[in-house]
Amino acid sequence: MVCPEINTIVMEKQAPVKQLYIHPKETYEIESESLEAHVAICSERYYAIHQHIQDTEVRVCERIDYNSAAISRLERIFFWGIGATFVTLLGGVVATFLK
C-alpha cells in the first residue's frame, strides 16, 4: 500500500515537466507544399526537443546529486553503527578476560 502523504511530498518537490508543442493540422499541410516552411518548422521542432532534453538533463543531474548526498549520509550511519558494535564487542571481550 502506498502512503498518500509521502507521494504528496515527493510530487511537490518534483519540477513540472514541460509539454512539447504540438503543431496544428494546418502546419502539416503547409509543410507538404513548401520545402522552406518544412525546414523552418523542423528547425523549431528540433529546438524544442533540444530544450526538452536539456531540461531533462538538469532534472536528472539534480536527482543524482540529491541521491548521492542521501547515500553518503546512509554510509556514515552504517559505518558508525558497525564501529559502535565493534567497540561494544571488544569491550565485552576485554571485560571477560579481566575478570
Mean pLDDT value of segment 66-73: 90
pTM reported for the whole predicted model: 0.49
Cβ atoms of 63 and 70 within 8 Å: the answer is: no
pLDDT at 84 over 90: yes
pLDDT 10s digits, 30-54: 777 888 888 888 888 899 899 999 9
Cβ atoms of 84 and 40 within 8 Å: the answer is: no
Mean pLDDT value of segment 73-80: 93
How much of the chain, in percent, has pLDDT values that exceed 70?
Answer: 75
Alpha helices in 1-99 (DSSP H): 4-13, 25-33, 35-98
pLDDT at 1 over 90: no
CA angle 42–56–7, rounded 5-degree value: 135
Q: Which grid coordinates are listed for 60?
A: 536528472
Q: Which grid coordinates are listed for 11?
A: 510530487
Cβ atoms of 50 and 57 within 8 Å: the answer is: no
